[in-house]
Amino acid sequence: MDTPNRTQKKVALLVMAAGIGSRYGGIKQIDGFGPNGETIMDYSLFDAVRAGFTKVVFIVRDEILETVKEKFLPKLQGKVEVEFVVQSIDKLIPPQYKNAERTKPWGTGHALLCAKDVINEPFIAINADDFYGKDAFASVANYFKSDTTGAHAMVGFTLSKVLSEHGSVSRGVGEADKDGYLQSVVERTTIVQENGKIISREKEGDRILDPNAPTSMNFWGFHPEVFKLAASMFDDFLKEYHSNLKSEFYIPLIVNELIHRGIGKVKVLGGGNIWFGVTYKEDKEEVSSKIKALIRQGDYPEKLW
């Protein structure tokens, strides 16, 4: 492994690995994609360590906690501080809002909140099952190393490059101002490609999207102050949606509130040069072949750890 380019201050990596993966038909967070059975998470962890991150926090379901510990603790010991947090359906949910019928996790914003007691430094929040590439991690690490504005960050990916050929996807589609700060990001939950166009299926009707829109692939950089706003918003969210068994509290809701209230800015960063992920089982072979190509061109060693 390359010698880490240490940042001047601590930076944590929050890995959201508690999703159920219903469309994939298995536990994709711990499925093997690399030549030696490496998970996608392995590559993100490798990139974070070499970019100089100092802590890793895994957000997991209770059912996979021991498996994740077994797989990743030996690899990370001596390199970074490691924490494990369980995102259960009842975690941080007041008694009056608990619903025994709910089976779906409360979403990425809830996952973020679950880590509030173990993160006190700038941190990056990512999906466990998305492959972001080394440039994304280096971009955010360098940003937190040199930034003096206190702004949060989002690595922007081009919408047309982050879709699946095998079905609809959910994406946070953004708009940035001329200075590169995010103006808004909207979670579009059913995006498809049809007849050369990118379309969001919505209750109000189809919406055609800009193929070049800066898109969140859940690669967010936050200062820990974000937890206070997130907690307040989640409380309001629960009051309104606790009886809806499929409602989810998404990170873009928090980001938009930061921006609209004027209590924080979000810089759109470069580094989103590579992305691929697994939504459907059919994506697996393609992801494995892309990882092999990156190994051939020298971005990663054949044996990571």
Rounded mean pLDDT, 204-221: 92
Tally Cβ neighbours within 10 Å of residue 64. 17
Q: DSSP string covering 266-284, please?
A: EEEES-----EE-SSTTHH
What is the value of pTM for the model shown? 0.87
Q: Residue 23 has what pLDDT? A: 45
Q: Residue 7 has what pLDDT? A: 43
Structure tokens at 301: 């060693």
User: β-strands 276-277, 130-131: how paired?
Assistant: antiparallel
Q: Which residues pair with 152 in a beta bridge?
A: 266
Residue 85 has pLDDT above 90, yes or no: yes
Q: How far apart are CA 221 and CA 218, in angstroms?
A: 9
Give the angle subtended at the CA of 142 by the CAs of 140 and 143, to the nearest 5°: 60
Contact between 187 and 172 (Cβ < 8 Å): yes
Q: Give 16's contacts (C-beta < 8 A, 6+ positions apart).
A: 59, 108, 111, 112, 125, 126, 127, 128, 218
Residue 34 has pLDDT above 70, yes or no: yes
Mind listing the pLDDT tens digit for each residue in 151-198?
Answer: 999 999 999 988 877 788 888 899 999 999 999 998 888 999 988 899
- Residue that has been written with the tokens 């360590």 in this structure: 49
Strands (DSSP E) along the chain, which ranges?
Answer: 12-17, 55-60, 81-86, 123-127, 130-131, 152-158, 169-176, 182-194, 197-200, 207-208, 214-222, 266-269, 276-277
Structure tokens at 238: 């629960």
Per-chain mean pLDDT for the chain: 90
Tally Cβ neighbours within 10 Å of residue 100. 7
Contact between 230 and 195 (Cβ < 8 Å): no
Rounded mean pLDDT, 195-209: 92
